[in-house]
């Protein structure tokens, strides 16, 4: 009984405790990369199955009766013992594969008869514990193949640069004979002995009918491997990321190896161009919208150590530039604060000490909201954020789970939408993919939403993501707001500036956005179709800015090159159940009022029905020639023509008419009419600025300050005062040059109708 207990417990629960390499493969099990084991050995994790060709070869060479013996072969032992005694030395082992597994696990025990007896006992115990196939798997995974190569999987990649399942008969035979004498027979050395052993095994396979004559002749004609191949490093940064949490494991990823390799080539091509401008780092992420699986993962460009080659930038916080603007647009649509074509102000603006500027430093006066997004105009975006509310927008961003938003809303201020905050490519692509998926699911599931739509993407093949339960309640943005946002992003054709724009001829519709951080440190481009999201970041990992490092010039070309290698996608279906068809004023983009004279029916988000009607169309009274305003004091009512007139506030109109030549100023009152005072005037400069610095010329003289005012009736005279001291009169063009002293001043402007405008400034030299 004691012997039985001892026999039962004689075999360790875990035979092998050697560290293994971290191995990652693509979705179709192609090797993407491997990280060598801690002991410096290329030892892959235990294989799930032994390839049939190698299995046949190893059994024929090592242990023909493997599936018949109980762990040892008495006949082989007897023959080996007889030969060894007659020769006076160990010439033949006679060990079965099971015994060899035991010997490999016991690490260099002396090859004595006592040790052989122990191996036999342990081998029989192993046969009780594991099936024959599992024992064979253990042998194939731990057998030495020369140098620092252990196991069939590592050996096939090191010596033949392919998976063990794709080896030929000659290659399988070569590997089958290597474990027999790994220190003596090594590819590239002892070629004659290796060739003889391989060919003898192939001859045996021919004689027992495993292979035919033609296969045999072709096999013996194959060359032997000369030196080990380097293992593939197709996505080294993902390999390092996985190794942090799953070190020494075999991980099947979701990556598409063909797409990954093509994307690598695209990044390398662009890197070779960008490095000429001292731009060294690029990262790219491609997601499947429907499964939220990672298809391509490029953590960095093929740069050098000096330029942080090993840094994985995909999850590193970087300044966002304009890449958050679509979220603001979607949030305002979702909240019902905006319609897609609503005119928003684009005029010089200052909030305290913060003065945003458009990229090209020009202003449109008023611009449709969707165009402000597609053109990436900064001033309208900041004004929209100020109107919407910083805290409200921040709440939407927190719902997106952008993990690098670590401070409160006031810390970022209104610059939040222009790059005042940081985020990373992973979180941003996740958010764009979730928005696209929300829209897809809404249309595919009877106008319902999944509760867990904004889920983290995965690069693990066996991860099944749970999108939650179907509900009538939106997760963050409703489907209509997302659709209208994507419609605007699809129209992107002049981002950042005219000078930096290229027309990209894409084979499909893509909703995309670029971003450039302050100081030209980060360039972004993220785009989505119904099926795929592509995200690109370009810059320097150390944060050094470079001229020309803008999203549309550096990141967008990479984005479109990668979309070109992706399958074509249809455009998103319109979510009619979340939309209403309403009458819209074509000029202002607001819901049409009763006097709007040019309207059309458009689909808007359901929440948009609470927006105000058009505030810019006024009913005015004109004479029959429409040259003058009139009223009943000077014209019979029967001759008065009532007409809807599109009128912007003076400051907006001042800039708007420069970009819109068909904009008509309101006609003046006829001289014989009693004018009804309805005048407006606003400062163009200074607008909201309180402290002004006056520069000096080359001679040290202080330059004058040019005051500008926009008046709804520019033909009226304006009277200018500085600290109640009259300084001049203007008419038609209301510009006034003054040279105030250092300190605080009050500027007063009075028109000839008595309307007054005041503004306080502080002059600093």
DSSP string, 164-204: GGG--HHHHHHHHHGGGSTTT--TTSSHHHHHHHHHHHHHH
CA 194 – CA 183 distance, rounded (Å): 12
| The token pair that represents 419 in the structure block | 């790059």
More confidently predicted of 734 and 574: 574
Domain residues of the chain, as ranges?
A: 10-220, 318-565, 617-659, 681-764
The helix/strand/coil state of 365 is strand
Taking residues 377-398, report their average pLDDT. Answer: 93
pLDDT at 372 (0 to 100): 94
pLDDT at 76 (0 to 100): 58
CA 763 – CA 357 distance, rounded (Å): 22
pLDDT at 671 (0 to 100): 81
Whether residue 690 is predicted with pLDDT greater than 60 in this model: the reply is yes
Per-residue confidence band for 502, with pLDDT thresholds at 50, 70 and 90: very low
CATH 1.20.1250.20, domain 318-565, yes or no: no
More confidently predicted of 600 and 505: 600
Helix axes 390-399, 378-388, angle to 10 degrees: 90
CA 246 – CA 37 distance, rounded (Å): 13
Q: Helices in 234-377 by DSSP H: which ranges?
A: 236-245, 257-274, 325-335, 369-374
- Burial (CB < 10 A; 0-12, 13-18, 19+), residue 32, is buried
Taking residues 326-338, report their average pLDDT. Answer: 96
pLDDT in tens, 278-309: 999 999 999 999 999 999 999 999 999 999 99
Distance of alpha carbon 528 from its chain centroid, rounded?
10
Per-residue confidence band for 713, with pLDDT thresholds at 50, 70 and 90: confident
Per-residue confidence band for 127, with pLDDT thresholds at 50, 70 and 90: confident
User: What CATH topology corresponds to 10-220?
Assistant: Penicillin binding protein transpeptidase fold (1.10.3810)
Expressed in angstroms, the distance from the first to the final Cα of the chain is 103
User: What pairing do the DSSP bridges indicate for beta strands 422-423 and 725-731?
Assistant: unpaired
Per-residue confidence band for 421, with pLDDT thresholds at 50, 70 and 90: very high
Whether residue 20 is predicted with pLDDT greater than 50 in this model: the reply is yes
pLDDT at 170 (0 to 100): 95
CA 129 – CA 619 distance, rounded (Å): 94
CB 313 within 8 A of CB 422: no
pLDDT at 500 (0 to 100): 42
CA 659 – CA 365 distance, rounded (Å): 8
Taking residues 729-746, report their average pLDDT. Answer: 83
Whether residue 691 is predicted with pLDDT greater than 90 in this model: the reply is no
Among 271-280, 419-428, 437-446, 745-754, the range scoring the smallest mean pLDDT is 745-754
CA 210 – CA 61 distance, rounded (Å): 13
pLDDT in tens, 73-111: 666 555 555 555 555 545 445 688 888 888 888 876 766
* CA angle in degrees (0–180, nearest 5) for 94-158-255: 125
Q: How many helices (H) and strands (E) does the chain have?
A: 21, 28
pLDDT in tens, 350-373: 776 678 888 888 899 999 999 999
Give me the phi and psi of 632, to 5 degrees please: -70, -10
Whether residue 613 is predicted with pLDDT greater than 90 in this model: the reply is yes
CA 684 – CA 348 distance, rounded (Å): 8
Tell me the average pLDDT of the chain. 87
User: What CATH topology corresponds to 681-764?
Assistant: Immunoglobulin-like (2.60.40)
| The token pair that represents 134 in the structure block | 């599992």
Taking residues 212-226, report their average pLDDT. Answer: 92
The helix/strand/coil state of 659 is helix
Among 292-296, 311-315, 345-349, 565-569, the range scoring the smallest mean pLDDT is 345-349
CA 429 – CA 479 distance, rounded (Å): 18
CB 644 within 8 A of CB 587: no
Whether residue 501 is predicted with pLDDT greater than 60 in this model: the reply is no
Whether residue 378 is predicted with pLDDT greater than 80 in this model: the reply is yes
Helix axes 325-335, 479-490, angle to 10 degrees: 140
Per-residue confidence band for 201, with pLDDT thresholds at 50, 70 and 90: very high
């Amino acid at each position: 009984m004691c012997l039985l207990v001892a026999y039962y417990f004689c075999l360790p629960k875990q035979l092998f405790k050697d560290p293994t390499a971290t191995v990652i493969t693509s979705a179709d099990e192609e090797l993407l990369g491997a990280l060598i084991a801690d002991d410096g050995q290329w030892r892959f994790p235990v294989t799930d199955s032994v390839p049939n060709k190698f299995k046949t070869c190893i059994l024929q060479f090592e242990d023909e009766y493997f599936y018949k013996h109980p762990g040892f072969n008495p006949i082989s032992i007897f023959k080996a013992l007889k030969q060894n005694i007659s020769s006076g030395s160990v010439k033949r082992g006679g060990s079965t594969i099971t015994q060899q597994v035991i010997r490999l696990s016991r690490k260099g025990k002396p090859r004595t008869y006592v040790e052989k007896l122990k191996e036999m006992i342990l081998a029989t115990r192993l046969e009780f514990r594991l099936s024959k196939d599992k024992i064979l798997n253990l042998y194939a995974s731990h057998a030495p193949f020369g140098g620092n190569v252990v196991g069939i999987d590592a050996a096939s990649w090191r010596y033949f640069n392919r998976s063990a399942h794709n080896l030929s008969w000659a290659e399988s035979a070569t590997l089958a004979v290597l474990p027999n004498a790994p220190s003596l027979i090594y590819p590239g050395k002892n070629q004659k002995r290796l060739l003889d052993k391989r060919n003898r095994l192939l001859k045996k396979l021919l004689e027992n009918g495993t292979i035919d004559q033609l296969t045999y002749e072709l096999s013996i004609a194959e060359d032997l491997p000369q030196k080990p191949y380097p293992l593939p490093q197709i996505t080294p940064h993902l390999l390092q990321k996985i190794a942090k949490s799953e070190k020494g494991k075999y991980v099947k990823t979701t990556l598409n190896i063909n797409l990954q390799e093509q994307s690598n080539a695209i990044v390398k091509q662009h890197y070779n161009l960008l490095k000429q401008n001292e731009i060294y780092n690029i990262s790219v992420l491609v997601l499947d919208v429907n499964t939220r699986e990672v298809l391509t993962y490029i953590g960095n460009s093929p740069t050098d150590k000096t330029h942080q080659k090993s840094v994985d930038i995909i999850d590193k916080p970087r300044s966002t530039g304009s890449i958050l603007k679509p979220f603001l647009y979607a949030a305002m649509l979702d909240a019902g604060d905006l319609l897609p074509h609503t005119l928003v102000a684009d005029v010089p603006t200052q909030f305290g000490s913060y003065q945003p500027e458009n990229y090209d430093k020009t202003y449109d006066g008023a611009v449709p909201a969707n165009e402000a997004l597609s053109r990436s105009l900064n001033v309208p975006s900041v004004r929209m954020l100020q109107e919407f509310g910083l805290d409200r927008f921040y709440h939407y961003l927190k719902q997106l789970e952008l993990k690098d938003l670590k401070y409160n809303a006031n810390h970022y201020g209104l610059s939040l939408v222009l790059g005042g905050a940081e985020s990373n490519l992973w979180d941003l692509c996740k958010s764009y993919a979730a928005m696209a998926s929300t829209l897809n699911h809404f249309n595919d599931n009877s106008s319902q939403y999944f509760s867990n739509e904004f889920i983290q993407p995965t690069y693990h093949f066996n991860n099944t993501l749970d999108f939650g339960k179907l509900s009538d309640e939106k997760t963050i943005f409703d489907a209509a707001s997302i659709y209208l946002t994507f419609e605007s992003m699809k129209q992107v054709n002049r981002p950042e500036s005219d000078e930096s724009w290229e027309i990209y001829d894409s084979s499909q519709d893509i909703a995309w956005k670029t971003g450039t951080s302050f100081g030209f440190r980060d360039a972004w481009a993220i785009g989505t179709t119904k099926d795929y999201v592509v995200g690109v970041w370009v810059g320097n990992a150390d944060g050094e800015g470079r001229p020309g490092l803008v999203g549309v010039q550096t990141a967008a070309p990479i984005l479109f090159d990668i979309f070109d290698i992706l399958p074509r996608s249809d455009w998103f279906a319109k979510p009619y159940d979340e939309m209403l068809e309403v009458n819209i004023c074509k000029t202002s983009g607001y819901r049409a009022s009763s006097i709007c004279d040019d309207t059309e029916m458009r689909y808007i988000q359901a929440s948009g029905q609470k927006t105000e009607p058009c505030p810019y169309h006024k009913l005015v009274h004109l004479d029959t020639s429409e040259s003058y305003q009139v009223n009943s004091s000077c014209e019979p009512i029967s001759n008065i023509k009532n007409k809807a007139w599109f009128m912007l506030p003076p400051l907006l109109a001042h800039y708007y008419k420069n970009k819109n030549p068909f904009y008509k100023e309101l006609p003046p009152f006829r001289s014989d009419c009693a004018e009804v005072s309805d005048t407006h005037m606003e400062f163009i400069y200074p607008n909201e600025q309180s402290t002004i610095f006056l520069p000096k010329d080359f001679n040290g003289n202080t330059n004058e300050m040019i005051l500008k005012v926009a008046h709804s009736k520019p033909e009226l005279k304006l009277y200018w005062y500085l600290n109640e001291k009259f300084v001049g009169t203007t008419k038609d063009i209301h510009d006034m040059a003054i040279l105030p002293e250092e300190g605080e001043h009050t500027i007063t402007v009075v028109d000839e109708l008595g309307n007054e405008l005041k503004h306080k400034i502080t002059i600093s030299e």
